[in-house]
Amino acid sequence: MRAFQSLIAMVLLASLLLIFLSTLHLEKTHSHRPEQREIRTHKTAAEKYNTTTTPFTKQMSITSPRHEFLDLSISHGLTQAIPQNKAFWNRLLYSAVERVEKQDFVQHPLWSNCRQVNQERLKTNIHDFTSYPSVFQDFLTGMNCRSPPLVVNQPNKCLSSDAGDDPTFLLFAIKSRPGNFEQRQSVRETWGRERVFQTDLRVRTLFLLGKSSPNEPDIGALLSLEAETYKDILQWDFNESLLNLTLKMTAFLQWTLKNCPHVFFLFSGDDDVFVNTPALLSYLQALEPSKASELFVGHVISTAVPLRDSKSKYYIPLSFYDGPYPSYIGGGGFVISGSLLPRLYSISHVIPFFPIDDVYTGMCLKALGVSPEPHPGFQTFDVTEQGRENLCVHKGLILIHQRSPSELKKLWKGIHSPLLTC
């Protein structure tokens, strides 16, 4: 049996290597061409916002990647949305609220010893802790872990190649898994391809990864080659899992504040979504400065409650969290202002980790007094069955979830076809 498993792993690795080498050859062929720039149809960002002097720039720019707690407060909107009761997470939240009111902030432990939590403490505070699924128990053990070390880094990602006059307008931060090479490659070839739109709207892309699970084949060598080739892989030293997506988001915020502090807008999404990048840029460029500086936009989910079915991957035990969820945006894809990132990072060190990342992001922004902005162009639950093959339906949207790599390529080619009339 073990020999058979080893054979399967070798076949998988060989297949991945063949796919990677073939796309690498295509990429090298393509890389000799000059960088494509979209035909200019609007005023440049500099002309519209006068990025050296206007209020828009002052609001949108991030001065430094500091972790600042001074004057940090939690909006009453969050405490009004989440009841104060005996559930473990609810107790942790209201304890954090009291500490913030006293400006008494807890320093989280170093990564090397952040999991050294007394199991008796968890069992004492959660009466049915031993009945939780093992992955949920593991999440609880690591709730204080906030700053994982990087395995693969791209510290020069946002450095301009044009004498410092070409800042990142939109940064795509795509959640991916180590083995999802085909998904990443389809994004690179379509909506996530790095380029400059309208002469000065620079778009950059990063894929956010944890480590392969222990029961998965080790593809570290392939990932290293992929990262070296495309310069768009960030990987942290924690196991890839659904319940670690909150940790991944917080780790990326830390990376962004250090390495890409002047980004105007951040897109967070999955590697199986389709994004109409020109439509998204047009929407962002048309925003008024006051709205652009406090933007949290996507498909708003306003009436969600925890799932209590222990067989669901989104299972939340009643003794862990009791109450409805505050309004949040589906994690398939949303956009947030760059100017919100320092505050979001700071509040994430106060609000206790929650195992569902998009719910947690909504909680943190609610704590900051920022409400999610609904937009009909974000379809995280897909379009109607009748519209799935209609290119004109997709051309009028910003995001659709979920699509296969081949469907991404077909859609991208279709909505940009000169033959398409909508």
pLDDT of residue 249: 97
Rounded to an integer, the average pLDDT of 283-312 is 96
Least reliable range by pLDDT among 65-74, 207-216, 254-263: 65-74
End-to-end CA distance of the chain: 56
User: Could you tell me which residue, 68 or 387, shows the higher pLDDT?
Assistant: 387
At what angle are helices 341-348 and 245-259 packed, to 10 degrees?
130
The helix (run of H) or strand (run of E) holding residue 10 is helix 2-31
Task: Give the C-alpha separation, 291 to 333, whole Å.
Answer: 19
Q: What percent of the chain shows pLDDT beyond 90?
A: 71
pLDDT of residue 68: 56
Cα angle: 309, vertex 312, 313; to 5 degrees: 140
Is the predicted pLDDT of residue 285 greater than 80, yes or no? Answer: yes
Q: Can you read off the two tokens belonging to residue 202?
A: 């620079």
Is the predicted pLDDT of residue 123 greater than 60, yes or no? Answer: yes
Is the predicted pLDDT of residue 413 greater than 50, yes or no? Answer: yes
12, 149, 223 from 7: Cα distances, Å:
9, 32, 21
Is the predicted pLDDT of residue 44 greater than 60, yes or no? Answer: no
pTM, to two decimals: 0.85
pLDDT of residue 379: 94
Rounded to an integer, the average pLDDT of 288-316 is 96
For residue 15, name the pLDDT band (cuts at 50, 70, 90): low
What is the identity of the amino acid at 358?
Answer: D
Max Cα–Cα distance, the chain, nearest Å: 68
Is the predicted pLDDT of residue 94 greater than 50, yes or no? Answer: yes
Is the predicted pLDDT of residue 40 greater than 70, yes or no? Answer: no
> Hey, is 309 helix, strand or coil?
coil
Rounded to an integer, the average pLDDT of 26-43 is 38
pLDDT of residue 36: 37
Average pLDDT of the chain? 85
69, 203, 232, 297, 344 from 335: Cα distances, Å:
24, 13, 19, 5, 13
Task: Give the C-alpha separation, 52 to 129, whole Å.
Answer: 55
pLDDT tens-place string over residues 141-186? 999 999 999 999 999 999 875 545 568 999 999 999 999 999 999 9
